[in-house]
Structure 1
């Protein structure tokens, strides 16, 4: 008898992706095929976008819109479930940032309705993925939910994304570039074809962001800007889809999750906390493994962050007044038994994590070789 084969379900991509300037107008025919009674889920800014008028101008669509706030939390979802029933919605349209899109996807999942995602910034890849993160009403990360499918339609309308503050795209760059530093640790030694492909795509994503981010931010809505938006929303999603759960998050996102439990961090964006978390992860690799290549990578990121405006320290995240007990709490939550942090190839205690969190910008004597080793010579960092 042959050994039983483990069946792994990969949810790689949305059923359809439409991108371009004014893509929403072109996408309406596909939205109509999904349903005629859309419930639009968004935040205050998203629901006021002039570009949405193309939906309301369609006589064959009966539309209701509802605000998802205070967060992607269970109380919001309960209220939105009632709105689905009251409106007799047959399709969910999420328009907004990561938490809004996570809410719309999970709402569609629970009501077994099709979902359309329309990102309003390049801040995350939430428009792509079959995953929703659940938070408390106060914004603390609680858990994530794997969904039955990726969105039925993703509409990347550059004219909408261009309305977002530049800080949102900078945060998206921080979130997306983490794919390389986390995937290469969690899956860099894999011999599985799709994991190898996912890790190599993460390397490509990192290189695109290093090369094009400064020019993209200098010329919003230009060619490089569009390429970086594609990278943060689409390519970042591809990597998670190909690699699956084991090729997603490691310590950088675990640090983010722990920090969300500190009220002082709530003004910092998701990608800003993740970007800081990458530095913490690399610092752990230096401290606990003596990994000099991690030191090289960290110095390269510190320079890159300075160029585009990503946070490098707790103070940069607005946590200059944080107490040791608060930091201990965040570290303990980041190190809980089911944390993604434990995808690191070595054990980490909360005390060690605190030490790494407060020393992300330290350049030690042993790091004098910084810049002498190419990141492409590395296997796991």
Structure 2
């Protein structure tokens, strides 16, 4: 038996998933079965009104929520502070309502304190509401590592009304993050003998097609059927793919490049999915050069055209890093290619010099011709 098929554990999905226009109403009535005094976690001022609605509705059914907000994100400073609040107030669960860092923080807090967790995504920007994984950052926004959790959330409530209130830029960002499932998994998992991984890979391909077909209409019209399919694809299906396929269906080069770019700790840095989308473009070029895959050239052109249609950055200049110093670019490359990076799951050798040159050429909008001259040891 193949080593990858032995001793496998998959945390595939939340125990309950409520989705649709009435998701909050239905999910709210399930919450008393889980808890009586939850911590209600949020962050952004833009989501305050929705979180206040959630708070008031919970009070109305006899639940006693304790409000708390992140100051920075999913970082130890916030995690420690809020963990103390949970213990002091004797909270019996965590309800995380917000974007990716709020959802990741809520899951991680609940995991550390062995409490139930309920996630309420307030955008379709990531699949963080679904997964048994949290990304940990510094308080300045630099990626540190990801943490596998014991389980997915006890419940996920994906209310269309809540999510539609988010700026459409967040949906576009989620589309790029969802597309990465295929572009990364197709490189790292195509030769897997694990049936779950093979099936997750095919789901990622269908997800990609769905996003290409419906993405532009969803971006333009939040009242369309396309919006429903795309928003749920980004926030729910993408998480399911990671649950079924595991780590090998999550990352290759796009996410490590994102993680490297966060080391700049720049206030101009784009949203998670925007940076991941840029990472996909760099990954496709590396695939084109070093695996001699001519289809990568076509795929890169198709992707760039689509990302532009939904107003996502496709160059370093558009991402806001056109003035990056050589020293900072080296920092990005070093982190992207550190010894623990999943970029080494690529089916061809890679090094930090190649990553550095690829980003440099993208920023200057060159044709990446110099890459072929870099030797891979």
Q: Is TM more than 0.5 here?
A: yes
Q: Does 1:20 align with 2:20?
A: yes
- 1:193 and 2:191 are equivalent in the alignment: no
Equivalence for 1:228: 230
Aligned residues of 1:198 and 1:239 also touching (Cα < 8 A): yes
Q: Distance in 1 between matches of 2:74 and 2:268?
A: 14
The answer (yes or no) to whether the contact 1:259–1:265 under 8 Å persists in 2 is no
Residue of structure 1 in register with 2:100 after alignment: 98
Residue by residue, what CA displacement relative to the aligned partner does 1:54-82 show, whole Å, maximum 9, x if unpaired? 53442521111100221100111111111
Shift of 1:242: 0.6
CA contact (8 A) 1:265 1:318 kept: no
Query: 2:221 maps to which residue?
Result: 219
| CA distance, structure 2, for counterparts of residue 99 and residue 81 of structure 1 | 16
Give unmatched runs, 5+ long, in structure 1: 366-381
User: 1:142 maps to which residue?
Assistant: 144
4+ residue segments displaced more than 6 Å: none
Q: CA RMSD in A?
A: 1.8
CA distance in 1, matches of 2:148, 2:265: 27
Please state if 1:323 is matched with 2:353: no
Structure 1 SS opposite 2:15: coil
Which residue, out of 109, 112, 115, partners 1:113?
Answer: 115
Matched, 1:78 2:80: yes
**CA shift at 1:289, angstroms?**
2.6
TM-score by length of 2: 0.93
Alpha carbons 1:260, 1:266 under 8 Å: kept: no
Q: Tell me which residue corresponds to 1:48.
A: 49
Q: Which residue of 2 aligns with 1:263?
A: 265
Q: Deviations over 1:8-60 (max 9, x none)?
A: 11011000000011311221121111000010010133333253255344252
Equivalent residue number for residue 375 of structure 1: none
Partners of 1:234 and 1:121 in 2: CA distance = 11
Deviation at 1:240, TM superposition (A): 0.2
Name the counterpart of 1:305.
Answer: 307
Alignment correspondent of 1:205: 207
The CA distance in 1 between the partners of 2:358 and 2:184, in whole Å, is 16
What is the TM-score with the length of structure 1 in the denominator?
A: 0.92
Match of 2:35 in 1: 35
Please, which of 62, 76, 82 is the counterpart of residue 64 of structure 2? 62
Contact map agreement 2:59 2:65 (CA 8 A) in 1 = no
Q: 1:356 to 1:4 in 2, by over 3 A?
A: closer
Aligned equivalent of 2:358? 356
Residues 299 and 162 (structure 1 numbering): CA distance in 2 closer, same or farther, change over 3 Å? same
Aligned residues between the structures: 363
Q: Give the Cα–Cα distance (whole angstroms) in 2 for the partners of residues 173 and 44 of structure 1.
A: 21
Q: Distance in 2 between matches of 1:296 and 1:5?
A: 34
* Distance in 1 (alpha carbons) for counterparts of 2:161 and 2:266: 33
Go from structure 1 to structure 2 and tell me whether the alpha carbon gap of 1:266 and 1:104 turns closer, same or farther (over 3 Å shift): farther
Evaluate the alpha carbon distance shift between residue 336 and residue 4 of structure 1 in structure 2; reply closer, same or farther with a 3 A threshold.
closer
Q: Which one of the candidate residues 327, 334, 339 is aligned to 2:336?
A: 334
